[in-house]
Amino acid sequence: MTSFELFDVDSGNLVGSYSSEEEARAIALRACQSHGQDSIQALLLCRVRGDDIQLIAEGDELVQDAIAGQAVSSATR
């Protein structure tokens, strides 16, 4: 089974485990919208399959993806 997980590098905590990458990115986007870019700067987005963990996005890349998501959300309203 594959899950998509957000980790906080600063605290070492798992933020959450999600069934899709889109769901995990939506959580990061909401955090960015609610609490600002700094709130997701220390997050890692990973794909997890059993013992295999693959980094998808982190730090600045995740922030930029969230900003792009905000722009798309605003444009489609």
**For residue range 14-47, what is the model confidence (pLDDT) as tens digits?**
999 999 988 998 898 888 889 988 888 899 999 9
The whole-number pLDDT of residue 36 equals 87
Q: What are phi and psi of 50, to 5 degrees?
A: 60, -120
What is the C-alpha to C-alpha distance for residues 49 and 39, in angstroms, rounded to an integer? 27
Sequence-ordered strand ranges (E) for 1-77: 2-8, 13-18, 43-49, 52-58
> Are residues 14 and 3 in contact, defined by beta-carbon separation less than 8 angstroms?
no
